Amino acid sequence: MKRAIRAVAIAAGLTVAACGSTPKPEAAPRQPPRTLTVGIKFDQPGLSVRGTDGTPHGFDVDTAVYIADKLGVTPDHITWREARSEQREDLLNSGTVDFIVASYSITAARQQLVSFAGPYLMAGQDLLVRQSERAIDQPEDLDGRTVCTAEGSTSADKIRRSFAHNVQLSTRDTYAQCVSDLIAGTVDAVTTDDVILAGYAHEHPGVLRVVGHRFTRERYGVGVHKGDLDLQSRITSAIRLMIDDGSWRRALDTDLAASGYKPAAPPVVFNAPDKLVAPGDPTTLDPELVNAAKAVAATSNARDWEGFRSLVCPETADAIDDIVLQYTPQFDKSLGAEIKNAGYTNTVTGVTQNDPNSATFAFHETFTNVPEKYRSYFKDIDYTATMVRRDGAWKLCALAADFVEP
């Protein structure tokens, strides 16, 4: 909070005191107005664009305004600052902005540099093409073609990592510039998250269309200065409230429904863990804890749903189910039947016992037998679990998940 909100000093009191020998009765002390500088995109219709009067609007903006309100800051005290994909970490680390709400995916690489609250929206990388395009349906069809995306994005990383050998990659500062190139015919496709592309397709009906085959999973988080755990958890609470009180759904309907974009459900929100627990010394751990941790890891993938539920604290069981479902790719109904044969392995990677009755442990999930076209969709997952010992039995009471970037 200290870094996040700058109080505006009120100097008026000093002037009054200097004016006369008989001091006027003191006015009731006024709460100093609080201000925030928030990083957003300026040219992503549906998520965040600047209107002609300079005021931004869109789902990211509404999310930022909601969060600011919960931090005690009214919209007229927010300074909006453009945060292009490539600039985000610098803007946070230099203290230029207090937080960023700008289609900003939570990734392990970024978590080295900044911290995230959220996620507040789940999206996935897709392709935008000209309406008349018949030959491009998935990234594999981009062989020999030119695709445009923004520098500093996960979208560019993905193309470089998985498709660079055949695809001509053209990067720009913003997606809006890519869209102009696509319309002008100098590139064959634009790639980034489906929610962003849907906004451009909606702006250019009959000219551009989204292919509609997501090939990554992107969790949008609110970026904060690395290690600002206080602000991180205040923002996480605000996002949870936004989902619970219906504001999230309303903002979605106002800002994104027009483009036809439909996220499955609100995401399960938690502070994305910055780092995993270190492996404990097995000689000092309660052996029952180790067994319980292994059992949680072995059953967590919902193929042994009953077994898993029996290890979970009843009051948090539903929330934990939601997290497992959200992060387990097999449960994405938009994927084809070929994924049925995909398997998984979970390995406990660290256990830390804090006291006789509480512990944290981490486990890692990897997938096997994944059809080639879904390879990038089945990212490995790191889970961080909190265990509590109740009536002698260790139970899983909290869970957080994080994709591991290949």
For binding to ligand GLU (CB under 6 A), which residues are involved? 85, 102-105, 150, 153-155, 192-193, 218
Identify which of 324, 325, 366, 330 has the alpha carbon closest to the alpha carbon of residue 345: 366
Question: Closest distance between ligand GLU and the C-beta of residue 213, in Å?
Answer: 17
Q: Can you tell me the distance from the alpha carbon of 200 to that of 209, in angstroms, rounded to the nearest whole number?
A: 8
Euclidean distance between CA atoms 51 and 45, whole angstroms: 10
- Decide if 124 contacts 105 (C-beta within 8 A): no
Of residues 218 and 228, the one with the C-beta less far from ligand GLU: 218
Closer CB to ligand GLU, residue 62 or residue 193? 193
Q: What is the 3-state secondary structure (H, E, C) of 96-114?
A: CCCEECCCCECCHHHHCCE
At its nearest, how many Å lie between ligand GLU and the CB of residue 374? 20
Residue placing its CB nearer to ligand GLU in the complex, 108 or 388 = 108
CA atoms within 13 A on the CB side of 164: 7
Phi-psi region of 177 (alpha: psi -120 to 50; beta: other; left: phi over 0): alpha
CB of 320 or CB of 401, closer to ligand GLU: 401
What whole-number distance in Å separates Cα of residue 37 and Cα of residue 105? 20
Residues belonging to the chain: 406
User: Do residues 170 and 192 make contact, with C-beta atoms less than 8 angstroms apart?
Assistant: no
How far, in Å, CA of 161 to CA of 406, rounded? 9
Residue 154 or 346: the one with the smaller Cβ distance to ligand GLU is 154
Q: Please, which residue, 63 or 192, has the CB nearer to ligand GLU?
A: 192
Work out how close the CB of 220 gets to ligand GLU at its nearest, in angstroms, rounded to a whole number.
7
Distance from C-alpha of 3 to C-alpha of 193, rounded to nearest angstrom: 31
Beta carbon nearer to ligand GLU, 66 or 220: 220
Select 200 or 308, whichever has its Cβ closest to ligand GLU. Answer: 200
Smallest gap from Cβ 94 to ligand GLU, in A, equals 19
Find the shortest distance in angstroms from Cβ 41 to ligand GLU.
7
Comparison of 119 and 329: residue with beta carbon closer to ligand GLU: 119
* Cα distance between residue 133 and residue 187, in whole Å: 12
209: left (phi over 0), alpha (psi -120 to 50) or beta: beta
* Smallest distance from ligand GLU to CB 158, Å: 9
* Extended beta strands in 24-165, E state: 34-40, 43-44, 48-50, 56-57, 78-82, 99-100, 114-123, 125-130, 146-150
Min separation Cβ 47 and ligand GLU, Å: 9
Residue 137: CB minimum distance to ligand GLU, A: 21
CB of 256 to ligand GLU, least distance (A): 15
